[in-house]
Amino acid sequence: MCGISGEITFDGSFASAQAVEAMTAPMAPRGPDGHGLLLQGRACLGHRRLKIIDLSDRAQQPMTDPELGLSIVFNGCIYNYKDLRQELEGKGYRFFSHGDTEVILKAYHAWGLEAPKRFHGMFAFAILERDSGRLVLGRDRLGIKPLYLVEDHARHRLRFASTLPALLAGGDVDTAIDHVGLHHYMTFHAVVPAPLTLLRGIRKLPPATLAVFEADGRRHDHVYWTLSFDRRADDAETSASAWREQVRAALHKAVERRLVADVPVGVLLSGGLDSSLIVGLLAEAGQHGLQTFSIGFEAAGGESGDEFHYSDLIARHYGTDHHQIFVPSERLLDTLPRTIHAMSEPMVSYDNVGFFLLSQEVARHVKVVQSGQGADEIFAGYHWYPPLMDSNDPVADYARVFFDRDQDEFTRTVEAGYVDGNPSLAFVVDHFGRPGADRAVDKALRLDSTVMLVEDPVKRVDNMTMAFGLEARVPFLDHELVELAARVPPEHKVRDGGKGILKDVAREIIPSEVIDRPKGYFPVPALKYIQGPYLDLVRDVLTGERAAARGLFRRDALETLFADPEGQITPLRGSKLWQVALLEMWLQSHGL
């Protein structure tokens, strides 16, 4: 796990090593174990390294193979790199390191743009071809690893980095608010789909995409993977028990793949079904002395702030080396500014601060953890999936439960200059209309697993863990498991309150008390019920000089939110006041 950056020019001018160094420096927490810079005329690559595989300096980056004429910077982990290396050695390739970075380099030389299809893992990389001057940027199938871009046509150059703030540090970025990105943030549950961000001058490389930049600046994108919910003729006849065995086998493989490391691997144990199942599968795989970690907060608004009962139950059952972290409210408030600063984009989920504090503690013990994100999107764990089973108007039914506010409320909340159509609804209409998902619930699952999941839970985990040089691996997003889950008929997924087929697997592995409990979340009640010092904080931010000068939100709309923050809740039980305040706090945190 690392931070990558770079610049390439398209007019023959030299790349700026100073700018790349400026972009690389703020990513030091992502890669505290080493750094490097490579300048080759019109191209410069930067890297911050977190040592997980091949701890020697032979695997340092940027990595260059002069014989092949290729250089690379890479963030992530290729779990099947040893198998690929063996295959490449059979083709005559010689290796000077023992890690996965060099395997990507050789694989690209051997198979070109088809190489990522062979990768099992999470990755974002940049490969520079010495002889052609071509630059290839790539991102994994489910967007687990981020990659941000600034295509500066006026200056005839491209810059890229693992984080959005890194690009800001490089300077010369159009930081005006993107109107479409703002609409998505305020409407589509704070999700801003790639390639957009909230800033007009910065874009994201979409998942499962290779962007090829020729020496003259021409760009062409190659999408190497799509998730299909089309099913084979015999899928409908497959029994629940047969699906259970297939899912169990795929889960075992996904968890075991994510043990590949030259350092110990722990687990973030919330006490829910998903993380508990990971612990159980690791126990079945023979792991002993596993370190597990959970976090809890003070209660607020009559709502409990921890699920220690369940995480302790699993820890005792499997005899893990368990670490329980309790956060008092005053520490939560003090930590908010650092949490927000660690975000590459504003993310409204209350549990960002939980992951931030949890990661700070976990990083003192291990450098790699497995985490349960993705199971709800892959196996239909959310409450809005069952009503879509028989929907006659899937777009409207999805928007009704998922959108934070309708178009009328959006126009009453933001200043008139930021209102430009209803792009969020248009996005859902377009996505639902694409081939490969015929049933309404499949359309929603595809959208959530390939867009919402990427731009919310997965990004949250990456940003918060990497703020402390902690690598998080997500076995439920193993692409083979995701493809299998897409084939499972939705009836098997939505039953038993959601994730029915996953619960079938879990009943053979973990205690039933965890499986049959009410669905839980990562609770941070103080940010859901904004009162006292939290209300003072958001009021000060939204009524201050910087917010007033920016002019994003209507004053009458803000006064409505201030008057009754607990009454202004989204359909997904989020605070509308926290949503607008977080955006302003994020902008200010990054000097915008």
85 and 143 in a single domain? The answer is yes
- Report d(CA 590, CA 26) in Å as an integer: 12
167 and 31 in a single domain? The answer is yes
For 414, half-sphere exposure in the C-beta direction (CA atoms, 13 angstrom radius) is 27
Residue 433: inside a domain: no
How far are the Cα atoms of 26, 358, 533, 575 from residue 561, in angstroms, in the given order? 35, 30, 16, 9
What's residue 37's pLDDT? 97
Strands of the sheet with 203-204, listed across from one edge: 34-40, 43-49, 2-9, 157-161, 148-152, 203-204
Peptide bond into 206 cis (omega under 30): no
- Residue identified by tokens 């998902």 is 437
Residue 401: inside a domain: no
Select from 496, 522, 548 the last residue of a domain.
522
270 and 144 in a single domain? The answer is no
370 and 515 in a single domain? The answer is yes
242 and 352 in a single domain? The answer is yes
User: Exposure string (b/e) for 244-271, b if CB count within 10 Å is 16 or more?
Assistant: bebbbebbbbbbbbbbbbeeebbbbbbb
Residue 11: inside a domain: yes
252 and 121 in a single domain? The answer is no
Return the closest-CA partner of residue 185 out of 377, 349, 374, 401: 349
Residue 456: inside a domain: no
Which tokens go with 202?
A: 């910065």
490 and 542 in a single domain? The answer is no
What's residue 354's pLDDT? 83
161 and 243 in a single domain? The answer is no
Count Cβ atoms within 10 A of the Cβ of residue 199 and give its class: 0-12 exposed, 13-18 middle, 19 or more buried. Answer: buried
What's residue 518's pLDDT? 67
What's residue 359's pLDDT? 93
Positions of the chain with pLDDT lower than 70, given as ranges: 1, 298-306, 329, 518-526, 528
What's residue 325's pLDDT? 84
Q: What's the structural domain count of the chain? A: 3
The secondary structure of 299-344, three-state, reads CECCECCCCHHHHHHHHHHHCCEEEEEEECHHHHHHHHHHHHHCCC
What is the dihedral angle through the alpha carbons of 398, 399, 403, 405, rounded to the nearest 10 degrees? Answer: -150
470 and 366 in a single domain? The answer is yes
322 and 216 in a single domain? The answer is no
Select from 522, 548, 563 the last residue of a domain.
522
Q: What is the CATH number of the domain that holds 253?
A: 3.40.50.620
Residues 6+ apart with CB under 8 A from 539: 562
Select from 154, 188, 223 the last residue of a domain.
223
Q: Are 163 and 25 in contact (CB under 8 A)?
A: no
Handedness of CA 488, 494, 497, 498 (dihedral sign): positive
What's residue 228's pLDDT? 96
Reported as a single tens digit per residue, the pLDDT across 460-511 is 999 999 999 999 999 999 999 999 999 999 999 999 999 999 999 999 999 9
Q: What is the CATH number of the domain that holds 203?
A: 3.60.20.10
Alpha carbon 162 to its chain centroid, in Å, reads 12
What's residue 334's pLDDT? 86
Which tokens go with 561?
A: 């939110």
Residue 408: inside a domain: no
Residues facing residue 149 across a β-bridge: 160, 203
What's residue 250's pLDDT? 98
Longest dimension (CA), the chain: 70
Q: Domain range for residue 143?
A: 2-223
Q: Are 118 and 84 in contact (CB under 8 A)?
A: yes
Reported as a single tens digit per residue, the pLDDT across 548-574 is 999 999 999 999 999 998 889 899 888
Single-letter amino acid code for the residue at 574: G
Q: Would you call 59 helix, strand, or coil by DSSP?
A: helix
Residues 6+ apart with CB under 8 A from 50: 1, 2, 30, 31, 32, 33, 367, 469, 471
216 and 245 in a single domain? The answer is no
Count Cβ atoms within 10 A of the Cβ of residue 56 and give its class: 0-12 exposed, 13-18 middle, 19 or more buried. Answer: exposed
Q: Are 372 and 481 in contact (CB under 8 A)?
A: no
Residue 510: inside a domain: yes
72 and 116 in a single domain? The answer is yes
Residue 556: inside a domain: yes
Residue 400: inside a domain: no
